[in-house]
Chain A
């Protein structure tokens, strides 16, 4: 954790304890207006290099999203992400081209996930610096929180992480999705009802089995 990150983190710790939704949003807005967040939060964590060409995500947001995706997608996803075979955040950045209005709230959610302090679940460091089990605890706390803003952060990060992950061919192969695959595991014929099974189909109202 850099000194700048640490300072912001300490401030977050004070401000975020027992925070309600309005207060949380105000904090994010004030910090952003003060210039604190863009300066401190745009850089990737030490030792992590973001890919070039990100359009919507900062290097930090990229790192946080990939860290979250590794936990959200489960063990097979974590392995692919750790091996560098899937970069969910890079896919998400491309996906945001079709959803530019999501970029700003997603950035806020990722910043909150990274820097907010939740002592009850032991989150005293940036999310990217936590052990996997601690990251899981943070995500669970967000998902189950009584505070709607926390649940929104979870839902937003969860959706984008999952969509970014399953945008990659490697992740699709994991779930045997055949469309676009070089060696598809199923064909169109497999999906269709065989002629032998056909019963009256049109206007099939109230048909008994």
Chain B
């Protein structure tokens, strides 16, 4: 390999998404010379295109777990997953913070996080979704829940002047969505941070128990192949590469082999699709805006632990979700303008692990939803179908191969009594990913201490969802941003001594 290009800085931040963006901005605004390494490309808002295939390939990465039965999608571009998410904003639930206190000795973190969340709420302009942004897709979900008497609510979003384009998942072309690309990265750059896109961190440099920087490689923007080594020398390293990459990076750097990569958790998700007599046109308007919280186990609810949220209908994803093949599948797809989607956002109890694969860009994910979670998923499918039937849907498709459309409550009797078989789910995926470098107040139990600092390495912090001790039960971007800001401020305080 050629002689490595070397850069020196006060701090290096790995990742530019919900964790890396706020962390980099906080460090740079405190006067530090900051370098941000982002493995994905930098794509300007004006270059985002209304193309499902191109956007997904250019802005994100799909990984599959080792048994091939669940996929995991994460943003891979400057701004990370915030570029392709649905802009949904939830504060960290009190029940989750209580579990941090009780199970992970994280009382100080739990006490401090809400104030950081309020700062983030203002900074990313989280606002209620008003009537001007209410589409028929969200209304279909709301109406069904209301008719059944189920708790439901519109979800705040971090947008400024949303034009209802329906392109949240393809990158917002107007910059209305206050993603990290729009809200945090420019702030960091205005304060002097250097953001290097197409650079993958390979190894953390540690000497005598202190962080010294990062060994990385520049990637060919087209092929994503490594093309030139890069070394960043910095006494402060913040890892925020996302839950699929932060734990593996620590582990392959020899930091806490016993725990790094373990404790990985998700909100496993699957779609339920409904066909209505009238057109829904669920490709336009906010991609997500309304939630049924009746079955949640946070924010004062005592349900089994899942949310139902409306989500956009685009052809590629819809085709993969609808079960079956051939003429029946084509007929269902032909009804696309009349379709509505609800996504089940399950608060998994399952834990797994994520470690480096042969290729650092392709982690090895061991994650197999356990029977109680699959039983709750079955419960969620049935309730989503009931909701849509109450809302006026003609038929509802569950994402189960070999299971015909549901047209009445009687059809739900065909649902197997046993927990679902994952290999019969047409699409099981997750985008909310947590753990792998978890904080814990007890040194023997966590990779990081309650401030996100690695117990074993001075000057090394983990500032993304991977250092959260578990899932949040709600869309997590506000929690992750708040956590990252808190970790960055802790790093600054320790630097000042």
Please encode chain B, from 139 to 174, with 1 for each CB lying within 8 Å of some chain A CB and 0 for all others.
100110011011111100000000111110000000
* B128 and A202 contacting across the interface, CB-CB below 8 Å: yes
Complex-state Cα separation, A97 to B68, whole angstroms? 18
Which residues does chain B contribute within 8 Å of A174, judged by CB atoms? Answer: 333-334
Whether B423 is near chain A, meaning CB under 8 Å from some CB there, is yes
Whether A144 is near chain B, meaning CB under 8 Å from some CB there, is yes
Please encode chain A, from 54 to 97, with 1 for each CB lying within 8 Å of some chain B CB and 0 for all others.
00000000000000000111111100000000000001001101
Whether A151 is near chain B, meaning CB under 8 Å from some CB there, is yes
* A203 and B284 contacting across the interface, CB-CB below 8 Å: no
Complex-state Cα separation, A87 to B89, whole angstroms? 39
* A191 and B283 contacting across the interface, CB-CB below 8 Å: yes
Among B228-236, B312-320, B449-457, which stretch is in contact with chain A? Answer: B312-320
Choose among B149, B330, B402, B427 the residue that contacts A76 (Cβ–Cβ < 8 A): B330
User: Which partner residue on chain A sits nearest B424 by CB separation?
Assistant: A151
* A152 and B285 contacting across the interface, CB-CB below 8 Å: no
Which residues does chain B contribute within 8 Å of A180, judged by CB atoms? Answer: 49-51
Whether B361 is near chain A, meaning CB under 8 Å from some CB there, is yes
Which residues does chain A contribute within 8 Å of B463, judged by CB atoms? Answer: none
A85–chain B nearest beta-carbon distance, Å: 16
Which residues does chain B contribute within 8 Å of A113, judged by CB atoms? Answer: none
Choose among B53, B149, B325 the residue that contacts A72 (Cβ–Cβ < 8 A): B325
In the complex with contacts A97-B57, A185-B337, A195-B135 CB distance below 8 A? no
Complex-state Cα separation, A2 to B469, whole angstroms? 56
Whether B61 is near chain A, meaning CB under 8 Å from some CB there, is yes
* A207 and B164 contacting across the interface, CB-CB below 8 Å: no
Whether B131 is near chain A, meaning CB under 8 Å from some CB there, is yes
Chain B residues numbered 373-423 whose CB sits less than 8 Å from any CB in chain A: 401-402, 423
Choose among A95, A151, A162, A209 the residue that contacts B319 (Cβ–Cβ < 8 A): A162
Please encode chain A, from 163 to 176, with 1 for each CB lying within 8 Å of some chain B CB and 0 for all others.
10111000110111
Please encode chain B, from 32 to 64, with 1 for each CB lying within 8 Å of some chain A CB and 0 for all others.
000000000000000001111110111111111
Chain B residues numbered 101-142 whose CB sits less than 8 Å from any CB in chain A: 128, 130-132, 134-137, 139, 142
Among B3-11, B15-23, B274-282, B437-445, which stretch is in contact with chain A? Answer: B274-282
B135–chain A nearest beta-carbon distance, Å: 5
Choose among B130, B137, B167, B359 the residue that contacts A191 (Cβ–Cβ < 8 A): B137
Which residues does chain B contribute within 8 Å of A177, judged by CB atoms? Answer: 283, 314-315, 336
Which residues does chain A contribute within 8 Å of B401, judged by CB atoms? Answer: 143, 151, 154-155
* A206 and B150 contacting across the interface, CB-CB below 8 Å: yes
A113–chain B nearest beta-carbon distance, Å: 13
Choose among B134, B315, B361, B424 the residue that contacts A192 (Cβ–Cβ < 8 A): B134
Whether A46 is near chain B, meaning CB under 8 Å from some CB there, is no
Complex-state Cα separation, A55 to B136, whole angstroms? 40
Choose among B57, B149, B165, B427 the residue that contacts A98 (Cβ–Cβ < 8 A): B57
Complex-state Cα separation, A190 to B320, whole angstroms? 25
Whether B69 is near chain A, meaning CB under 8 Å from some CB there, is yes
User: Which partner residue on chain B sits nearest A175 by CB separation?
Assistant: B336
Complex-state Cα separation, A192 to B289, whole angstroms? 12
* A100 and B362 contacting across the interface, CB-CB below 8 Å: yes
Q: Which of B280, B316, B362 has the most CB of A within 10 A?
A: B316
Choose among B49, B149, B326, B359 the residue that contacts A136 (Cβ–Cβ < 8 A): B326
Q: Give the top 3 A-B pairs by smallest Cβ distance, nearest first.
A: A74-B330, A167-B53, A191-B284
A-B contact pairs, 16 of them (CB 8 A): A74-B328, A75-B327, A97-B224, A99-B64, A105-B64, A152-B69, A159-B320, A166-B333, A172-B315, A179-B166, A185-B337, A188-B285, A190-B279, A190-B284, A202-B130, A205-B151
